[in-house]
Chains A and B, each alone.
Chain A
């Protein structure tokens, strides 16, 4: 660990930063994760950009949460979980359920904007939802 030099468009940037500060990639990844978490919390907490009148819109918060989530997810999976240095079979293994996860999020999560009290009939075998609709 630590001896391996990372290459590639994104991992290469991490490696370059590590070389510049004279530490390993894990340390750089740790700093990046900490920074983006702070950024994520700040984006939600502040209604305007601190020191300005610029409104932080709902769309902007969404964008920040998604982009930061992707960056943090990449940092953890690629470096801390070693997917970047390990044989590709592990990346394939990790990506295998993504299709099912996407199907669940789209097919179930976003299929009914009215929420669980209006699930399709095949999904509600005589269930009484009065406890959630009252």
Chain B
């Protein structure tokens, strides 16, 4: 990729650190407003609803002992209503608290990603940021250690991950035995991963010439584009394994659908779809997420289109012209919109999970296991995409000309990944939410 930042100054990296502080403030504000503020109100409502339920239960018991049949039926109906209200109040409380906590955690991770990588680069001598070619468009690519560093970091992190989780639980005061060896391994992996990410940022911001494949079958094509497609092939196989597992299990379950079709008599498995598809309120998060991903696919296309459009002009509409004043800012703002939509996807997914778990649909059942693993793996892909997008926003902001016709391929290749994530959701949404 070519770039136009001839000398990556320390103040550029310090901007990353400042942005991370802003992200932390946003996370804190969202947590305060949603989880603490609205969450407290909703918790009070839930307490009140629970008290109503207890009163209704008492009245029902009294009616059963001393009341007439009509009074017993009225008390039973009142209990049903109170029970419904109690569940609704609980789910409403979960919605706000989960949203607040999710935004806080996401912002902490965003801030760490930005801040640590920025700080890592800012403490390096400025000469190290600049090589002999001054990062211009004609610089040859000399190969990069970043992918190997990042892969090694992830490997070590995952090797120690189970122990890392139990150690974290132990540190939180829960009844778990700390496993410091695995925890240390994970921390070393994290450190190597951060160095890899920081290195990759540094190299990518300086820019380099696009490498072209010289042999069959991708001869003449950009190597990074071919590489991205090869990567997507492997991703297809990952998601295919989830679907084949799901199909295998699903064909053995007696679900609502199977009973309706006369395949079996008694429902033995409740799927996520059974809990979600019958009411607008429960189907809504999944449906909104589907639209959010499609819109985000379109906004990334718009970012790329704008970057490559040498004749770009601001809109004649005053509001649009204000939102998208220059080509550089337009690309950046489309990327920010994409990031916001992807973040919305994660928040709604976790809100939906919290509701499902509250209704007893947990990971320790067959249906829950495949649902959470498949949708969780997809959510993880979205989240990793959001982290990459954070860097692209940073790059779009700090490069002199932002993304343009010379370096827009970065958006194109990332777009391929993002569209693939959208494509996977096209299959996951009907399979797990609708059917």
Binding site for B on A (CB under 8 A): 1-2, 24, 26-27, 30, 33-34, 37, 40-41, 44-45, 58, 61-62, 65, 68-69, 72-73, 76-77, 80-82, 87, 89-90, 92-94, 96-97, 100-101, 104-105, 107-118, 132
Contacts and interface: CB of A to CB of B under 8 A. Distances in A.
Contacts of A118: 252
Given A37-B290, A44-B430, A108-B248, 18 more contacts: A30-B295, A30-B297, A34-B294, A37-B291, A41-B434, A44-B435, A62-B435, A72-B426, A76-B422, A76-B426, A77-B423, A80-B297, A90-B229, A92-B217, A97-B236, A109-B243, A109-B251, A115-B252
Contacts of A87: 221
Contacts of A93: 226, 229-230, 233
A72 B232 CA distance: 18
Contact of B244 (A69, A89, A109): A109
Which of B420, B426, B435 counts the most A-chain CB atoms under 10 A from its CB?
Answer: B426
Nearest to B430: A65
A69 B249 contact: no
Nearest to B258: A58
Contacts of A82: 412
B280 to A, nearest CB: 7
Give the 7 A-B residue pairs with the shortest CB-CB distance, closest first: A115-B252, A109-B247, A109-B244, A101-B240, A104-B244, A108-B244, A44-B434
B372 interface: no
Given A41-B287, A81-B419, A26 B243 contact: no
A77 B434 CA distance: 23
Interface stretch (B178-186, B300-308, B325-333): B300-308
Contacts of B422: 76, 80
Contacts of A45: 277, 280, 283
Contacts of B301: 1, 26, 30, 80
B153 interface: no
12 contacts: A34-B294, A37-B291, A76-B422, A81-B420, A81-B423, A87-B221, A89-B217, A90-B229, A94-B229, A109-B243, A109-B251, A115-B252
Interface residues of B, number: 57
A33 B305 CA distance: 19
Nearest to B240: A101
B257 interface: yes
A45 B276 CA distance: 10
A117 B248 contact: no
Contact of B419 (A76, A104, A110): A76
Nearest to B302: A26
Contacts of B230: 93
Contacts of A111: 248
Which of A34, A72, A116 counts the most B-chain CB atoms under 10 A from its CB?
Answer: A72
Contacts of B318: none
A81 B424 CA distance: 13
A12 to B, nearest CB: 20
B430 A1 contact: no
A81 B416 contact: yes
Nearest to B423: A76
B152 interface: no
B241 interface: yes
